[in-house]
């Protein structure tokens, strides 16, 4: 098995386009798969030497997070956490302190688990991926990346360079909640991310609601967003959000939860996340 450390996006794309090449970012999924024989690449392309994949920046377009920046580093960024608290709380839920030291947003998304914690929060926030490939670069909204469990929309040779988040509008807030049977170190039974914005009178003008672990891919639930827009996020609106979220679920029965349980909890978490997002928006 070959190991390469390209230092430019072009070189990385050229290497990843080769048969049997596999991208390495934080390695928290890939090394486990290698060990289990579930991945048998002939070449590992370590993307962490490409400078554009590392670090957090703010510019005129908003925030940019390098796709291979470890979660621990992102979690320490106070300004980003103030701007997008839901995104940051979601990525901080992943694994242990040790996993945080390695795990990345790009890896969490490309691994394409329906239960990935960062994905509903990023979808709710309207995050866009910068994707590089052999024929150049393109932008892809986060909600278009995961196509089925373990599969993503990237072509051979493509990889995620970074994530773009806009500056949050005035009077806006986001939140992410997940349910696990323990307090730490587990995979989501259900995850719910909500981002919303209010006008000067406290009426919701913009909303996005996303769910994880309740369908083959994370879901952007338009009906739940519609239930918020035009309301003051009162109890009646929150009940409609819960109903819309539950209605959108197409979960599986497994050891983590039954279909009925996931459908119910998805509504509860969507409602609670919307309430937290509303409180954060009101406090701004």
Partner 1 sequence: MAKHHVTTTVNGDSMEFLCSTEQTLLDVLRDELFLTGSKEGCSSGDCGACSVMLDGRLVCACLVLGVEAEGREVETIEGMAEGENLHPLQRKFIEHAALQCGVCTPGILVAAKALLEKNPDPTEIETRYWLAGNLCRCTGYDKIVRAVLDAAAEMRATAEKGAGKKSKSTKRPETASA
Site string (56-75) toward partner 1, x via CB under 8 A: --------------x-x---
CB 159 within 8 A of CB 13: yes
Element (H, E) at 210: strand 204-212
Q: Does 187 bind partner 1 (CB under 8 A)?
A: no
At 96, is the secondary structure helix, strand, or coil?
coil
Minimum distance, C-beta of residue 21 to partner 1, in the bound complex (Å): 12
Spatial distance between the Cα atoms of 152 and 136, rounded to a whole number of angstroms: 18
Q: Which is nearer to partner 1, 48 or 171 (CB)?
A: 48
- Which 5-34 positions form the footprint of partner 1 (CB under 8 A)? 24, 26-28, 31-32, 34
Task: Report in angstroms how near the CB of residue 79 gets to partner 1 at its nearest.
Answer: 19
Q: Reduced to 3 states, what is the DSSP secondary structure of residue 43?
A: strand
Under the binding rule (CB under 8 A), the answer on residue 46 touching partner 1 is yes
Residue 164 CB, shortest distance to partner 1, in Å, is 25
Contact by Cβ (8 Å): 193, 174 = yes
Residue where the block lists tokens 């909600």: 143
C-alpha–C-alpha distance, residues 187 and 149, integer Å: 14
From 92-100, 114-122, 155-163, 170-178, span contacting partner 1 (CB under 8 A): 92-100
Pairwise CA distance, residues 60 & 121, whole Å: 22
Q: Rule CB under 8 A: is residue 201 a binding residue for partner 1? A: no
- Per-residue binding letters, 119-148, with partner 1 (x by CB under 8 A): ------------------------------
**DSSP reduced 3-state for 117:** coil
Q: Which of 54, 77, 102, 280 binds partner 1 (CB under 8 A)?
A: 102
Q: What is the rounded CA–CA span in Å between residue 196 and residue 190?
A: 20
Question: Using CA atoms, how far apart are residues 5 and 44, in angstroms rounded to an integer?
Answer: 9
Quote the least distance from Cβ 159 to partner 1, whole Å. Answer: 17
- Residues near partner 1 (CB under 8 A) are 1-3, 24, 26-28, 31-32, 34-35, 44, 46, 48, 70, 72, 95-99, 101-102, 184-185
């Amino acid at each position: 098995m070959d190991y390469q450390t390209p230092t430019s996006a072009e070189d990385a794309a050229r290497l990843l386009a080769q048969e049997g090449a596999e991208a390495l970012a934080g390695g928290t999924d890939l090394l486990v798969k290698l060990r289990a024989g579930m991945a048998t690449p002939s070449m590992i392309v370590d993307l962490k030497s490409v400078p554009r994949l590392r670090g957090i920046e703010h510019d005129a377009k908003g925030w940019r997070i390098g796709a291979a920046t470890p979660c621990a580093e992102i979690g320490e960024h106070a300004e980003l956490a103030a701007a997008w608290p839901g995104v940051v709380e979601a990525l901080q839920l992943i694994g242990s302190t040790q996993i945080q030291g390695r795990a990345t947003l790009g890896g969490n998304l490309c691994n394409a688990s329906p239960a990935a914690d960062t994905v509903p929060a990023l979808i709710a926030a309207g995050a866009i991926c910068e994707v590089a490939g052999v024929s150049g670069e393109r932008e892809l909204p986060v909600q278009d990346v995961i196509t089925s469990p373990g599969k993503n929309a990237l072509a051979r040779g493509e990889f995620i360079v970074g994530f773009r988040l806009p500056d949050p509008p005035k009077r806006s807030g986001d939140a992410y909640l997940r349910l696990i049977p323990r307090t730490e170190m587990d995979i989501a039974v259900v995850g719910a991310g909500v981002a919303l914005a209010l006008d000067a009178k406290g009426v919701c003008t913009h909303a996005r609601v996303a769910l994880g672990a309740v369908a083959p891919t994370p879901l952007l639930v338009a009906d739940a967003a519609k239930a918020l827009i035009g309301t003051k996020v009162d109890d009646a609106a929150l009940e409609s959000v819960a109903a819309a979220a539950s209605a959108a679920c197409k979960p599986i029965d497994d050891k983590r939860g039954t279909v009925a349980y996931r459908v119910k909890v998805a509504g509860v978490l969507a409602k609670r996340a919307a309430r937290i997002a509303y409180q954060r928006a009101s406090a701004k």
